[in-house]
A and B are shown apart, each in its own frame.
Chain A
Amino acid sequence: MLTRINIGPIHPSTHGVLRLVVDLDGDTIANVEPHIGFLHRGVEKLVETRMYMQSPPYMEKLDYIAPMSVDELYVSTVEKALGIEVKERAQYQRMILLELQRIASHLFFIGALTNDMGMMFTGFMWGFRDRELILRLLEEATGQRMFYVNMRLGGMVNDFHGDFEQHVLKTMDYMEKRIPEYEKFLEKNPIFKQRTKGVGVLKRDDAIALGVSGPVLRASGVPYDVRRDNPYYFYKELNFREMSLNGGDSFSRYRLRVMEMRESMRIIRESFRKMPEGDSTGQMVKLRMPPVKNKVVTVAREVPRGEELMYMVAGDQKPYRLSIRSPVFINLHALNHIAKGHRLADLYPILGSLDVVMADVDR
C-alpha cells in the first residue's frame, strides 16, 4: 500500500519552485516524480524576436546562481556564428571571471546543502559570507552585483582596473584559509557524515546512461570535464588536473565541489600570471551585424552545474532558432533513480547534492 504525498511547489528547500509527488511505502521512497514548469517563460522563443546583442540579459536569468557562465556561452555562440576572434587578454579575463563565478556558485551549494539538512545557521551563514566576498570582486570588475552583462563580441565591456589583480589574490589567500575550516566543520561532523555517506549512490554506468554531467558525473567516477576534454580559451595550456571520485554518493558530490573550488583558485592565479598586457575591450554594440544565413553552430561549456550546450541556427540579424541543453534538467531526471529506497528525510540532502536551479530547468 503506497501513500502518495505532495511536496511543493512552494517549500523552503526545493531550491526554487519545484513540485515533487512522492510515493511512500511506510517511510521509504518508492517513486519520486518531479513536476516542473512553474517558472516557464519561453526564453528560447523570446530570443528569436531580439537582435543578437539584445539577448545576453535574458540568458543570465537562466542560471541565476552563476549568471555569467550562461551569458558567456551565449556570446561565444554568437561569436562562433559570426566568425569573430576573441582577444587573448579578454580570453584570460573571461576565464578568471568564470572561475570566480564557479567558486561563488559552489559556496552557495554548501550553504544550501547544509540548510537542507536542518543545520541552517553555521553552514548557510559561512557559505553566504564568503560568497559575498566573491560577489564584491565581480562587482568591482563589472559594476553589477548579480547580473553582469559584461561580455561584448570579441572581448569585454571593461578592462580590469589596476588594483583588481591584487584584490583577487588577497581574497584567494583568504579563501585558502577558509576552505579547510569548511572541511573541518562538515567532514568531522557525525550528523553530516551519516546523512551523506552512502546516501543517494549513483553508480558509474547509471550516471552515463542517465546522461548526467558536471560534478554529479565526476563524483560517480567519470572524469569528464568540458574544460579538459573539449578545451576552450586557454584551458588547454593550463596545468589542469583531472578530478573524479569513486563514491557516487551525496558526500562525494559535496567533496568534489570543494576540490573544484581549490582547482578554480589555482586556475585564477595561473591566469593572472599568464595574462598578456594590452586591451581587452570588445566591439562596440551594433544592432546590425554582417549577414549570416542558416549557419548552424553548437557550443558547449562547463558551467558550475555541468555541461551546458547551445545550438543556434543563425538567421539574418536574429537567431532563427536557439536551443539550450540544460545540465540541471538532465541531472534532475536522476533524482528518481537515486532517491528510490531511501527514507523521506534523505530526499532533501539528495536533491541538494544535485544542486538544481529551477529557472534553467523550466526556461
Chain B
Amino acid sequence: MTDEATARKEMDALVARSLEGREIKPNVVFAKLSDLMKVASRGMVNWSRVNSIWPLQFGLACCAMELMAFGSASTDAERRGFLLFRATPRQCDVMLIAGWVTKSMIPEIKRMYEQMASPKYVIAFGECATCGGPWWESYNIVKGIDQVLPVDVYVVGCPPRPENLYSALMKLQKKIGGEVEG
C-alpha cells in the first residue's frame, strides 16, 4: 500500500470518528455555502475597509493643529480614502491620539474607544502620545497612550508634519490589507 492510500484511509477513519453519534442535518450544506460566501467576500470586505478609513475628529493638544492641517486643502487626504473627520466615534475606524494624555483624560478616551465599532485602530500621533515626550517628568501625564490602548502605528515628531500622518495611514492600510504582520 502506498503512503498516499494510507493517509487517505487514516483521514477517512478520522472523519468517521468525528461524525460518530452526530445527526447530519440537511442545513449543513447551506451553512457550508455561507462559509464559502464569507471566504469569497473577505477580500471584498478588506478592500473596502482599506480604502475608506474614517478618522475620529478628536484633538487633544498641539498635534491637533497638524491634524487639522492634514484635513485642509494643502494635504488632500481624500484622494486615498482617508475621508472626512467624523465627530462621533460610532462612525469611525481609526482614533488619532494627537497630544499629551493627562490622567484626567484617560476615562474619557477609554469611553470613546469602547464606543467605536470593531475593527478599530489607534494611531499615536506625536511624541507625547508615543512616550510622554517633553512632559515625561510631569506628575500628571501618562507616558504614552500604549499604556491604556493597543496602538497600531506610532508617528514620532514634535509635531509630526501632516505628510507623516499621511504615511502612517498608508502603513495602516497595509496592515488592514494583510500585507504586513504586526
Task: Enumerate chain A interface residues (CB-CB to B < 8 A).
Answer: 9-10, 12, 16-17, 37-42, 46, 49, 57-58, 61, 64-65, 67, 108, 111, 124-125, 128-129, 131-132, 145-147, 358-359
- Specify which chain B residues have a CB less than 8 angstroms from the CB of A38 in the assembled complex: 102, 104-105
A-B CB contact pairs (8 Å), 29 listed: A9-B105, A10-B58, A10-B108, A10-B112, A38-B105, A39-B60, A39-B99, A40-B102, A41-B100, A42-B140, A46-B137, A46-B138, A61-B62, A64-B61, A65-B65, A108-B65, A111-B68, A124-B72, A125-B72, A128-B73, A128-B74, A129-B74, A131-B69, A132-B69, A132-B72, A146-B159, A147-B158, A147-B159, A359-B62
List of 9 A-B pairs having minimum Cβ-Cβ separation, nearest first: A128-B72, A64-B62, A12-B87, A41-B138, A132-B74, A129-B73, A125-B73, A41-B135, A12-B57
Is there a chain A Cβ closer than 8 Å to B139's Cβ? yes
Instruction: Report the minimal beta-carbon distance from B58 to chain A, rounded to whole angstroms.
Output: 6
Contact B73 A39 (CB under 8 A): no
Give the residue name and chain of the A residue nearest to B100 (CB).
Answer: A41
What is the bound-complex CA distance between A253 and B150, given in angstroms? 43
- Specify which chain B residues have a CB less than 8 angstroms from the CB of A40 in the assembled complex: 102, 104, 140
Partner of B72, one of A37, A64, A129: A129
Is there a chain A Cβ closer than 8 Å to B141's Cβ? yes
Instruction: Report the minimal beta-carbon distance from A363 to chain B, rounded to whole angstroms.
Output: 11
Q: Is the interface of A mostly helix, strand, loop or mixed?
A: loop
Q: Could you mark each residue 158-179 of chain B with 1 if its beta carbon is under 8 Å from any beta carbon of chain A, else 0? A: 1101000000000000000000
What is the bound-complex CA distance between A67 and B138, given in angstroms? 21
Task: Enumerate chain B interface residues (CB-CB to A < 8 A).
Answer: 57-62, 64-66, 68-69, 72-74, 87, 99-100, 102, 104-105, 108, 112, 134-135, 137-141, 158-159, 161
Q: Which of B61, B68, B87, B138 has the most CB of A within 10 A?
A: B61
- Specify which chain B residues have a CB less than 8 angstroms from the CB of A10 in the assembled complex: 58, 108, 112
What is the bound-complex CA distance between A57 and B135, given in angstroms? 11
- Specify which chain B residues have a CB less than 8 angstroms from the CB of A9 in the assembled complex: 105, 108
What is the bound-complex CA distance between A16 and B98, given in angstroms? 11
Give the residue name and chain of the B residue nearest to A35 (CB).
Answer: B104
What is the bound-complex CA distance between A359 and B99, given in angstroms? 10
Give the residue name and chain of the A residue nearest to B70 (CB).
Answer: A128
Q: Is the interface of B mostly helix, strand, loop or mixed?
A: loop
Whether A17 contacts B134 in the complex (CB less than 8 A), given A40-B140, A125-B72, comes out as no
What is the bound-complex CA distance between A233 and B60, given in angstroms? 34
Give the residue name and chain of the B residue nearest to A13 (CB).
Answer: B87
What is the bound-complex CA distance between A111 and B66, given in angstroms? 14
Contact A17 B74 (CB under 8 A): no
Instruction: Report the minimal beta-carbon distance from B103 to chain A, rounded to whole angstroms.
Output: 9
- Specify which chain A residues have a CB less than 8 angstroms from the CB of B68 in the assembled complex: 111, 128
- Specify which chain A residues have a CB less than 8 angstroms from the CB of B65 in the assembled complex: 64-65, 108, 146
What is the bound-complex CA distance between A250 and B104, given in angstroms? 32
- Specify which chain A residues have a CB less than 8 angstroms from the CB of B64 in the assembled complex: 16
Instruction: Report the minimal beta-carbon distance from A251 to chain B, rounded to whole angstroms.
Output: 24
What is the bound-complex CA distance between A331 and B24, given in angstroms? 75
Partner of B140, one of A41, A124, A129, A146: A41
Please give 13 more A-B residue pairs, beta carbons under 8 A apart, in addition to A145-B161, A146-B62.
Answer: A10-B108, A17-B60, A38-B102, A39-B60, A42-B139, A42-B140, A46-B135, A49-B137, A57-B134, A64-B65, A128-B68, A358-B61, A359-B62
- Specify which chain B residues have a CB less than 8 angstroms from the CB of A108 in the assembled complex: 65
What is the bound-complex CA distance between A132 and B72, given in angstroms? 10
What is the bound-complex CA distance between A129 and B141, given in angstroms? 33
Contact B74 A16 (CB under 8 A): no
Partner of B102, one of A12, A39, A146: A39
What is the bound-complex CA distance between A220 and B105, given in angstroms? 35
- Specify which chain B residues have a CB less than 8 angstroms from the CB of A145 in the assembled complex: 66, 159, 161
What is the bound-complex CA distance between A61 and B139, given in angstroms? 17
- Specify which chain B residues have a CB less than 8 angstroms from the CB of A111 in the assembled complex: 68, 72
